Structure formats: C-alpha cells, structure tokens
Structure 1
Amino acid sequence: MARFSFHSKNGGSSLSSPETGKAIRAVVRPRQLQTAFDNMAPELQQQLTKHTINFHFNPPRWKHSQVISDHFWKRFVQNYLPGLQLRQKWRKSTDNVAVGQVVMIVDANLPRGLWPVGTITKVFPGSDGIVRVAEVLVNDILMLLCLSGINIIWETFKVFDFNQDQRKDCGCEKCITEDEPGQWFKQRFQKTVRPFLTGNYNLSQETFNWWRKLFDEKRDRNFFNSTIQKIFEIIPVRPPVVEPSPHRCRTCAVVGNSGNLIRSHYGKLIDLYDSVFRINRGQTEGFEEDVGSRTTHRVMYPESASNLDDDTHMVMFAFKGRDLKWLLNALATSSNAAVKRKPIPNKNMVMVAHPAFMQYVHESWLQSKGYYPSTGFMTVILALHLCDEVNVFGFGADSDGNWTHYWTKLYQMFKTGNHPGHVEYEMIEELARKGKVVFYKGF
C-alpha cells in the first residue's frame, strides 16, 4: 500500500513519528482516502493531529497505536467529514455531485476504518436540477443512496483513466520514478543504469579504471573478464529480479545495522514488506522484535560475508579482483574451505553488482565524496532501482550520537571508514523529504 503523506500546506511535518503515521494509515486504509488528509485545510490538519503527537505510553506499542487510531478516527468524523458536505439548504448553492467522484458512505453501525468507499456511477437530478440521489458502486455492488448519507472525499478524478494507469511504472499509489517539482531527483537518478552484471555485460575502460583505483588493483581487464566469465558459467546469466509492472507494487525494506534499531520495535513492520535487504553481517536471531526475522536479500563483500539459506538472494559488491576470485571459489567448491564458510546454498540466487552501478552511486549521488560508497548506501540506491516503495531502517548514529552496530556492546563504536557516512545519511534524509523513501530513524 502506498504511503499516506502527512504534510501541511506550508511543507512542515504534521506528525512526529512513524508509528503515528502507521496507525492513521490503518484507520484510513482504503486507497481513495490516502490523499484526503493532504486536501484538508491547514487548520483542520492541526485539529486532527494536535491530540496525537504528545502521547508518552510504555510498551506494548500496539496499545499506543490503538489509542492514536481511536483519537484520529474521532477527530476525522467530528471535524473533517462534516466539512465535506455543508448543508446550507437554499442559502447557498453548491455544485452537484458527478459521476466518477469517490465517496465515503456514512454508517454509524460500523467501527472506525470500515466505512465503505465507492464511486458514483449515476446521478438522479430532481425537477429543480439538484442531485439528491446517486448510484454508488462499492465492491462490485450498486447502491442507491441519498446524498445525506455520503461524503465526497476525492474530487481529483471525474472519470477513471485506465490508459493512464497502464502508463504507470508500478501499481502503487505513487511510483518512485514519477515526476516531481524541481530537478533534484532527476539530476541524480539514472533509470537506465544496470545494477547487476549479466552474461553479456559491457564494462567500459573508464569504469574499469575507476573500479581498479578503489584498492589499487594491479590486474588488468583480461583478469576481470575471464573471472566474470567463469562466474557466469555457474550463476544465471540474468539476475533474478522482479521486473516493474503497472499491476504490481514492489515494496522493500532496507535494514541497516545502526544501534538506533535497539528498542525500535520495527521487527513486525519490516517483515511485512515484499523484499527485505540486510547488509553485511546484520543479525536477526535474538533481535527479531527490533529488526524482524525475514531476509530476502543479503548484501555483502568477502570481508563481511554471512552464511545464507536457500531462500536468500546473495548480492555481491566486489571492490577488487580478490573479491571476484573469492566469489568464484565460493561458488566452485562444495566444501567452501577457501572462504572458511558454508557453501553458497542456492547459486541461482547470486547477483553481482555492476562496477558501473557502484561508480554511478559514487559520482551521481555522493558527488565523488569519500573514496567509495558504503554497501549500506549503495543498497538504498539499489532499492530505488528494484522497488516501487522503499523503506529505510537502521542508518546513522543512535540517539546519543554513537555509531554502533545493534548487536555489539556500546563501547564497540566505529568510524565510517573510507566512505562519507554523514554525507550518505544526509542524502537519505533528503530522499525522505522528497518522498522517495520512508526513513525510520529508530531511537
């Protein structure tokens, strides 16, 4: 489901926590309602949200979400819905309802979040030309209703354009690649860049020169090409990725390793997404409540390699020739003694990042700052290319400013190494401000 946007007209954020947004999205679950909040006047937005941002409840967090949902629904019904259909009688003329408008059917007997939403398919004007009765389609059922029992909640589409829907890149309410005001995202995102090597890859001399400088690689392109050729004799020549479709919404979670995930209680939320990307040695056992238990993609390089199961994609970032040799040995031997780890269980799920993609992330997204991007940040950009909805967890320092891994002791702090950690963090924040990712900052 597409994300509900909670921003006021002046661009300021109306809500303060992901949990609040998630609770309210659960109340206004029908897709037609997801834009209703944005269409409210600023003063109504404040009325609906001012009672939901100052709660200080203790776990369990589901109780917190239920209270937020109850408060939001009460304010939604009392303050917003009455304003959708002001009954001015003859004192003020208003536009008639029209075919194609989306309406909510008021039913006091149903609990919050379950009021039906439908589309007007036919109107019945009276002798005075005023429409008081309309035919509404709800879940393939036609209803004949008086206008006193419905509220118009979405007027942007008078007639649904099926051809327009077919032209979309995805089946989400909003796609990452959709145009936006300004040029910030367009100047950085290059849709034609291939994230992974294939059996018929093309590596330019410029990209190879950039790649070999990362770790002062001495071996030439012949070594690179011959090693890659041997790798593709074992793994699929085309990476196993889910292609975009206007009938599919590919949701993804990118889970970093920051200590700010501790006590975040994001685990169940993370496990809901279609794909869950974990990075390097990011652990799940013993941390399920905060980081979830599912892993569909494990992003790694040799020094950070983790054991995989049969259902997990291996996403390999090779920074040097020795990394490619390590992968070849790991694929070619049954004992995997060369890498001192268990064999790669499913060779059909191995994908190798294209050096051109790594160069693109460094130059286009980081403006060549730092020696090279981190695997974590490259995974965020990778998700922008593979997913239609991207949710980012576990990046940056914790609330005390410490850069730690969530499975290590507090005193085991680390630096961001040769990649510009603070620049990467600011870039993720900007992606969130532009609505391209949802950024969960933890605690």
Structure 2
Amino acid sequence: MMHCIRWQYRFTHQKRTVWIPPVLGAVAFLIYFIYFCPEYSNPVDPADVFDKDVCTCGLCKPKPLRTPWFEQHFNGSIEPLLVRKDQVLPDHVLKWWLQLQGLNNASHLPWVLEQLFKVIPSGDPYEEQYNRPCRSCAVVGNSGNLKGSHHGEKINAHKFIIRMNGARTSGFEADVGSRTTHHFMYPESAVHLSHGVHLVLVPFKLQDLRWITSALSSGEIKFTYTRVKQFLQADKDKVLIFNPAFFKYIHDNWTNHHGKYPSTGMLALFFALHICDEISVFGFGADQKGNWHHYWENNRFAGAFRWTGVHNAEFESKLIAALAQEGRLKFYK
C-alpha cells in the first residue's frame, strides 16, 4: 500500500512539474503580445496612430532627406494613375497629350473614359500610402546588360516586380527572374499576361483607351497606326491606366524635354518612385560592350536605342545615376 502511495505522489508531482513551465511561458508571451504589439492585438486602431515617416511593417528605413535638387523636381500631388474621380485632365495636359501621336478630338474623352471604367476598376489601389505593408520594388528594364548578370534571384525577392513592353522571362530566369506583378505596355507593344499580373496601360492617344476597352471585351479594334492585338489575355480587375498628367510631369520635371517624351522605362521608374519604399533598378543602359539592345535578341544595329529621336537614352541613364547618388534607388548594372 505504501509503495502505491509513493508511486502516485511521484506521478502527480512530476506531471505538475512538466506542465508548469509551458503554462508560465504562454502567459508571459500573451502579456508581451498585448502590451508591446498593439498593432497586431488591436487591428482596428485608426491609421493616425502610425508613424507616417516609416512603413507600418516597421522594417523600412525612414525616407531619405529631401535635397534641394530632389525638392525642385519631385511633386507628390500628381497621381500616377488615371481613375474615375480624377478623370478631368487640365487643359495644358490634354493639349500636350493629344498631340503626342497625332491630333485627337478632346470632346470624345469623357465618353471614352465612361466606357473604359465599365470594363476595368475605377479606383486607385495605391491611394493609401501610410497604413500598409512596405513595398520593395524592382524595376526591370530590357537592356542586354542583363545577359549573364545572374540577378534573377535578387529580382524575385522584391514584392513588386515591374516589367515593360516585350519583356520575357522564359529561358532567362537566372538573369531576369521569373515573377512579374506589373507590366507596362501600350497597344503596339502589348503582350498576353499571366493571371494575377497588373497590366499598366501607357496611353499616347484616345485610340489607346478605346483599344484596351475593346481588347478586354468586344475585340472591335484591330488597328491603331499599325495592326494590334484584337483580344488581350489579362485580368480585367487588375488593369491600371497611366495618368497623362503624370506622363507630362515626368517630361517637364525629370527628363526636362530631352526627347519627344520619356521612355516606358522612365515612366515605370517614376511610378515606382511615387508608390514604393525601396527601389532597385535593373536592365537599363548599354551592355558591357557599350551596345544598346534587348537581352533576348542579337541586334545588328546595337547602337540604335542610344538616340532614337523619340527618347534620349543617355540623358535617362544619367538621371538614373543621379537618383542612385541621392539614395532614392539602387542601380544594378
């Protein structure tokens, strides 16, 4: 009998000993979580409790100092995207934009936009800049300097990965990565997109807005100034329209009228500058031999993209270098 009592005592005492430390640990963790992580324990806290100089994830570095040079050029009041509530363009913007690729009838614009926003979302997914996670963005150009770069893994590590025009990843993953979140294009450079990718249309004329509406619905438009895709594979709910006012702002404030208008790469880069917290730039400029070409092709006229009469690639390269010098982005050659 005494032997049984001793055995029972040892069992119950040992059981208490085993369970006490985990219970105390759980209580300590709960107290720490409630008092030191209020943004997680109380997710309905208003946005004004957050420090607006850093991202709410707490991992981003504070914004770089606004130097006189940057202050002179940057204008945060101009939105990168055209949305329903801000669809009335200033007259000076409208006049400049409608002359980029031939005169258009401005009186048709309200009707064209009305039809457009029946097909695609009418809001701005990046309007909220503070109460959100950090955004690390890779802007991936199409330069031949990406061949053999082995930047693919580094590019894939970013939250947003922005590509443009005829960019391709299949067969080039080691150098350019495999993921895409945003693809900038215009009708004449359009490519089909995978599910989940944002199509960012850069419109140069009213017909471009008509085309995207048609390409995602009826397929009635097959021609702009050249033959274009009748239908486009893309998620309608992820289509975004680049704002002509933002287009002109880049031309006036950043590329300073070098070239007729900025390249698609410049538009993508400044889109990132306005919505991202950390920016990495890949695939811009000449390759290691000084040639200008796309990474997926062998171009006999490798200097053709240096100065086309439309864009000034050399000036744009210097602008990227200046932004890197300012600490606004990391530039990978």
Provide the TM-score with structure 2 as the length reference: 0.78
SS at match of 2:92: helix
SS at match of 1:281: coil
Q: 1:214–1:320: 8 Å Cα contact kept in structure 2?
A: yes
Greater RCO (CA < 8 Å, at least 6 residues apart): 2
Q: 2:164–2:183: 8 Å Cα contact kept in structure 1?
A: yes
Q: 2:216–2:231: 8 Å Cα contact kept in structure 1?
A: no
Aligned length in residues: 278
Q: 2:101 aligns with which of 200, 215, 229?
A: 215
Q: 1:365 aligns with which of 245, 250, 254?
A: 254
Indicate how the Cα distance of structure 1 residues 366 and 340 shifts in structure 2: closer, same or farther if over 3 A, else same.
closer
Q: CA deviation at 1:278?
A: 0.4
Structure 2 equivalent of residue 196 of structure 1 = 81
SS at match of 1:228: helix
SS at match of 2:162: strand
- Give per-residue Cα distances to partners, 1:130-150, cap 9 Å, x unaligned: xxxxxxxxxx7xxxxxxxxxx
Indicate how the Cα distance of structure 1 residues 172 and 372 shifts in structure 2: closer, same or farther if over 3 A, else same.
farther
Structure 1 or 2: larger strand share? 1
- Give per-residue Cα distances to partners, 1:68-91, cap 9 Å, x unaligned: xxxxxxxxxxxxxxxxxxxxxxxx
Q: CA deviation at 1:386?
A: 1.3
**2:214 counterpart of 1:329:** yes
Q: 2:203–2:209: 8 Å Cα contact kept in structure 1?
A: yes
Structure 2 equivalent of residue 429 of structure 1 = 321
SS at match of 1:184: helix
In 2, Cα distance between equivalents of 1:291 and 1:386: 22
Q: 1:291 aligns with which of 167, 172, 176?
A: 176
In 2, Cα distance between equivalents of 1:233 and 1:164: 37
SS at match of 1:252: strand
SS at match of 2:161: strand
Gaps of 5+ in 1: 1-139, 141-162
In 2, Cα distance between equivalents of 1:188 and 1:385: 12
Indicate how the Cα distance of structure 1 residues 294 and 389 shifts in structure 2: closer, same or farther if over 3 A, else same.
same
Structure 1 vs Structure 2: percent identity of aligned residues? 39
Structure 1 equivalent of residue 239 of structure 2 = 350
Indicate how the Cα distance of structure 1 residues 240 and 286 shifts in structure 2: closer, same or farther if over 3 A, else same.
same
**Structure 1 counterpart of 2:153, which letter?**
K
Q: 1:333–1:343: 8 Å Cα contact kept in structure 2?
A: no
SS at match of 1:406: coil
In 2, Cα distance between equivalents of 1:240 and 1:167: 19
Pairwise mapping of residues 71-82 of structure 1 onto structure 2 (< 5 A)? none
Pairwise mapping of residues 233-312 of structure 1 onto structure 2 (< 5 A)? 233-241=118-126, 243-245=128-130, 248-312=133-197
Structure 1 or 2: larger helix share? 2
Q: CA deviation at 1:334?
A: 6.5
Q: CA deviation at 1:242?
A: 7.2
Q: 1:250–1:274: 8 Å Cα contact kept in structure 2?
A: yes
SS at match of 1:166: coil
- Root mean square deviation of aligned Cα: 2.2
In 2, Cα distance between equivalents of 1:172 and 1:428: 25
Q: CA deviation at 1:340?
A: 3.1
**Structure 1 counterpart of 2:282, which letter?**
F
Pairwise mapping of residues 35-434 of structure 1 onto structure 2 (< 5 A)? 166-170=51-55, 171-176=58-63, 178-180=64-66, 182-200=67-85, 201-217=87-103, 219-241=104-126, 243-245=128-130, 248-333=133-218, 339-340=228-229, 342-413=231-302, 414-415=304-305, 416-417=307-308, 418-434=310-326
In 1, Cα distance between equivalents of 2:78 and 2:127: 16
- Give per-residue Cα distances to partners, 1:151-172, cap 9 Å, x unaligned: xxxxxxxxxxxx9961314244
Gaps of 5+ in 2: 1-31, 33-47
